[in-house]
Amino acid sequence: MSTTLPLGRVGERVKRVDGIPKTNGEFAYSSDLFAAGMLWGHTLRSPHSHARIVEIDLADALTSPGVHAVLTHEDVPGQKRYGLEFPDQPVLALDRVRYFGEPVALIAAEHPEQARRAAERIRVAYEPLEPLVDPERALEQEPLHDERWTHGHGYRDDPRPNVVRHLVIRHGDPDAEGAVSVSGVYELGIQDQAFLGPESGLAVPDGEGGVDIYVATQWLHVDRDQVAPCLGLPPERVRIHLAGVGGAFGGREDLSMQIHSALLALHTERPVKMVYNREESFVGHVHRHPARIWAEHRADADGRLVSVRMRILLDGGAYASSSTAVTSNAASFACGPYAVANALIESTCVYSNNPPCGAMRGFGAVQTCFASEAQMDKLADALGLDPVELRLRNALAPGDVLPTGQRIDGSLPVAEVIRRAAALPVPELEPLPREAIRLPGGAGNTTRGEGVRRGVGFAVGFKNIAYSEGFDDYCAARVRLREDGSAEVHCAAAEVGQGVTNVILQVARTELATDDVVLAPHTTASVDSSGSASASRMTWMAAGAVQLACRAALEERERTGGEVDVERIYRHVRTSPLDPETGQTTGERSHVAFACAAMRVVAEVDVELGLTRVVWIGTAQDVGAAVNPQAVEGQIEGGTAQGLGLALMEEIQTQGGLITNASFTDYLIPTALDMPPVESVLIEDPEPSAPYGVKGVGEPPTVVSTAAVVAALRDATGRELTRVPVRPDDIVGL
Amino acid sequence: MGALGNGTRGLAGGTDLVPLLRDGLVAADRLVDLRRVIPSGIDGTAIGAGTTLAELEADPQIPDALREACRLAASPQLRNMGTIGGNLLQATRCWYWRLNYPCRLHGGDVCHAREGQHREHAIFANDYCASAHPSDVAAALLALDATVETTRAAGPLAGLYRLPDDHDRNLVDLGADELITRIHYERPEQSVYLKAMDRKRWAFALVGVAAARYDDGVRLGLAGVAPIPWRLASLDDLEQATPLPGTAYKLELARALGRRAIAAVGG
């Protein structure tokens, strides 16, 4: 699908090109794909969270009506394992399953129902094993993996079993004493990305042994680089094309059905489509790491932080995914956007038989922000200081040094976002009587004002932009300038709903000074990698690459005349790994840049029923420079809603590692009634090393909103509320 | 009716049955469309069992408690399809039951929820099976003193339900070929339904309380507190509750909602 663009250059409010088709139901998502003669693929999954596979009997399934192929790990022609960072995950279970829903076998049939029925006729003999479900005990139990996949990559050498990564950041003298000290234990449940478009795609064999895969993903090239070796093919014979993405939020960083559909397609020599249903989607992608965090904050009598200690335990589930980076991110942002001279941060991620965890919007920073901001409120209380004033006294600023030893040399207007968010006027108390939906309990009509108390919460958070710790993070763009002055841009940056399509077009229009620009389909076949639509990096990176390519194309045309076609690669500043023993950066920086946000929340709580209403949210966010202010506001509102969901209702429930609420009936996400109006102030303090001064905007609102919402509930109820989601039973509780 | 039973199931709105079939919790060789067989529509205080929740929530002659219970059940799409008769028979949300654990409702000899996770579960009659009945509509109809007419008999709504035991794991006392045809209710002076949920809308009741005031006093029906819709003679009866550790909060909810519901109907 080529896209013609509306008017709009960098910095203008531009309507999203995909907005109207998505609203009208005309947008083609990956689940809408169709090819003549296609078969339907289906995945047989493990009903156990931990079991040995004794035998797989395919005989009945192979003779089932409509079936064209039934495949197991024996049919994987290349590498048997894959992984985003470490190849620890079997394409199809080998001799053991490690999580509930792990793929065991694949079926291709004429009709999806035939495929499902054939799956029921595959007889797998399992020998159930005791599942490892308590992350606190993981380090003393039998290892779940025979190999230590994540070891030998420059991380701290930790001989204990089931360690994915153990990171210690030691900064200054963590034993330094303060005038006051507060401590607490905090816990977060497993959050799901809950994107509306389930995993889906279409694999089409090219007739020459290669395959084209049309799929909703976040990073086309890293998919290809994982798929090809498993198929036993060179990368150029696997082409990945972006299909319509129905939300991602990190949940599409890892592969889902890519290798599976390609295996079936190559085996049957027919196109094969796979679409997960909702229940399958819950086991078909990684989730946000659940966490248990202990924190101690010490401050002097004026409220200046003296020392922060934190121990973070993350449950990574069965496979590594991006857990090593989440471990490090959680630690990097453990102290919040505050200057701290002394710190000891210990962050550990373990393997378990719980649902696999990996990337989700906020990526480790959400978990520690929740703990750290609760601690700041406790500290303010202990000191008798206003919570906003306490935060201002400790606000990080350019020139300050982070606990990793990195000096902030770019933009980071922490004090300004705090002041601007704190200055937003809080709405007045609405008089009674009110409509039920304007009271806690909502449509349930549970109160006419009885038991209702109001609270105001405040929180600040920050996070890195782009990939860190020495990762070679780049983005390519290709620009064709035709003789008639029109331009075609190729960039593989995945449009996951965040609006990067508009960003690319806006940059190209600005640089080429023409309206006549189209964006070519996103594919590995015509342009190099863009990197992932992750880590709040895509706007920055795509803008950088398209800007470079446009400028190069104009120069080339100046020199040669006629049609030109140039490709350029953009890289942000280099980062360095953290020292495995001290957690200190081994170069100038381990993170590229940072973005911060402050948020003020007004909530009402019916303290007799424990029901809540978030009344209003005001936020000031450090956005660098807004390429498209309308899209930035959309990201702030959406990101805030996702953090509110974690604060109030979202949690994957498990029993012995089995997901018990894998549906949108039982896993609740906020409705429009649960979301208050969001007043957002964009703080434009350009990032010196970024194109146009931009920063990513997708994650900071999610990082801060969980903490801010719970702070408001604490203010209203006087309860500690140390675990999210906070549900009615936590408030009326004993 | 003779066609029902023996692997044949009746289907009206299908909003409960179809997901149960899909999840393998109910088996059927054949489905019989009941929509032209079951009476539907509202006639005074008689409601055809095939009447949809959407019709009921919009009809001003229906008492507030029932209208509100219908309006708060599920989403508009489901209410446009789901019938009141089917709603009275809907299955529990107990995860153990839904995941096909060999629990008591599935014929086994243990209630997994009692030992395991049971935040959404029962505070009454939860010794044998701790599941909670999800029907908002049944709670409202209990408060409205409803009677149920079937293809075989007529009697109080409360008599439609039974607690499971070793001999019979069913929660309803209805033959395999017996269908609910009509529901009759007593018109109250005033009535209300209050529903505590985990979000503002589109969630099952943690606790739902219906109250209806009549000449002789206020009648109460509760959702989400027992394996079957639960009738309370008065709020004092909440003292008889036997909450599990994870459901103690539901007793607090029932107390507060009960007080508020009674106050709302001027009781």
A668 and A721 in a single domain? The answer is: yes
Does A728 touch chain B if contact means CB atoms closer than 8 Å?
Answer: yes
Chain A CB contacts of B195 under 8 Å are 443-446
Q: For the domain that residue B248 is a member of, what is the CATH number?
A: 3.30.465.10
The count of structural domains within chain A is 3
Query: In terms of CA atoms, which chain B residue is nearest residue A440?
Result: B200
| DSSP helix/strand/coil, A92 | coil
Any domain includes B1: no
Residues 6+ apart with CB under 8 A from A497: A18, A245, A246, A247, A248
A113 and A72 in a single domain? The answer is: yes
Any domain includes A51: yes
The pair of structure tokens assigned to A632 is 């930035």
Any domain includes A134: no
Residue A21 has pLDDT above 60, yes or no: yes
Residue B155 has pLDDT above 50, yes or no: yes
Q: Evaluate whether A479 touches A547 at the Cβ level (below 8 Å).
A: no
Percent of chain B whose predicted confidence (pLDDT) is above 90 = 96
Any domain includes B139: yes
Q: Read off the pLDDT of residues B81-94 as tens digits, 9 standing for 90 and up.
A: 999 999 999 999 99
Interface test with A, best of B20, B21, B98, B200 (most A CBs within 10 A): B200
Q: Which helix (H) or strand (E) holds B76?
A: helix B76-81
Does A610 touch chain B if contact means CB atoms closer than 8 Å?
Answer: yes
A112 and A218 in a single domain? The answer is: yes
Any domain includes B99: yes
Q: How many residues are given for chain B? A: 267
Range of lowest pLDDT (A565-569, B2-6, B41-45): B2-6
A677 and A711 in a single domain? The answer is: yes
A722 and A648 in a single domain? The answer is: yes
Residue type, B159: G
Residue A7 has pLDDT above 90, yes or no: no
Could you tell me the pTM of the whole model?
0.97
A555 and A649 in a single domain? The answer is: no
Cis peptide upstream of residue B229 (ω within 30 degrees of 0): no
CB-based contact A655 B117, cutoff 8 Å = yes
Distance from CA of A667 to the nearest CA of B (A): 10
Chain A CB contacts of B196 under 8 Å are 441, 444, 446, 609, 611, 728
Query: In terms of CA atoms, which chain A residue is nearest residue B74?
Result: A665
Any domain includes A631: yes
A433 and A497 in a single domain? The answer is: no
Task: Provide the H-helix boundaries in A76-175.
Answer: 112-120
Q: Which of A284, A299, A331 is the last residue of a domain?
A: A284
Cα gap A600→A618, rounded to integer Å: 5
Q: Between A448, A611, A613, which is nearest B196 by CB? A: A611
A77 and A123 in a single domain? The answer is: yes
Please indicate whether residue A225 or residue B267 has the higher confidence score (pLDDT).
A225
Q: Are strands A96-97 and A487-490 parallel, antiparallel or unpaired?
A: unpaired
Per-residue pLDDT at B176: 86
Does B201 touch chain A if contact means CB atoms closer than 8 Å?
Answer: yes
Any domain includes B3: no
CB-based contact B200 A613, cutoff 8 Å = yes
Q: For the domain that residue A447 is a member of, what is the CATH number?
A: 3.30.365.10
Residues 6+ apart with CB under 8 A from A721: A710, A713, A714, A730, A731
Per-residue pLDDT at A607: 96
Q: Read off the pLDDT of residues B5-57 as tens digits, 9 standing for 90 and up.
A: 788 999 999 999 999 999 999 999 999 999 999 999 999 999 999 999 999 99
CB-based contact A668 B196, cutoff 8 Å = no
Query: In terms of CA atoms, which chain B residue is nearest residue A733?
Result: B249
Distance from CA of A372 to the nearest CA of B (A): 26
Per-residue pLDDT at A689: 96
Any domain includes A227: yes
Which value does ipTM take for this structure? 0.96
Average pLDDT, chain A: 97
Q: How many residues are given for chain A? A: 734
Cα gap A92→A111, rounded to integer Å: 22
Angle at CA of residue A101, ends A648 and A232, nearest 5°:
125
Print the domain residue range for A224.
Answer: 33-129+195-248+252-284
Print the domain residue range for B110.
Answer: 8-264
Chain A CB contacts of B111 under 8 Å are none
A269 and A418 in a single domain? The answer is: no
CB-based contact A661 B95, cutoff 8 Å = yes
Q: Which DSSP category does A686 fall into? A: -
A614 and A501 in a single domain? The answer is: no
Q: Which helix (H) or strand (E) holds A358?
A: none
Cα gap B241→B125, rounded to integer Å: 8
Q: Read off the pLDDT of residues A614-639 as tens digits, 9 standing for 90 and up.
A: 999 999 999 999 999 999 999 999 99
Cα gap B180→A290, rounded to integer Å: 46
Any domain includes A79: yes
Any domain includes A637: yes
Q: Which DSSP category does A225 fall into? A: H
Q: Which DSSP category does A186 fall into? A: E
Chain B CB contacts of A434 under 8 Å are none
Q: Read off the pLDDT of residues A391-417 as tens digits, 9 standing for 90 and up.
A: 999 999 999 999 999 999 999 999 999
Q: Between B116, B198, B206, which is nearest A655 by CB? A: B116
Q: Read off the pLDDT of residues B174-229 as tens digits, 9 standing for 90 and up.
A: 998 899 999 999 999 999 999 999 999 999 999 999 999 999 999 999 999 999 99
A63 and A104 in a single domain? The answer is: yes
Any domain includes B2: no
Cα gap B42→B28, rounded to integer Å: 31
A47 and A114 in a single domain? The answer is: yes
Residues 6+ apart with CB under 8 A from A566: A478, A479, A549, A552, A553, A556
Any domain includes B223: yes
Cα gap A189→A288, rounded to integer Å: 8
CB-based contact B260 A446, cutoff 8 Å = yes
Residue type, A83: G
The count of structural domains within chain B is 1
Does A451 touch chain B if contact means CB atoms closer than 8 Å?
Answer: yes
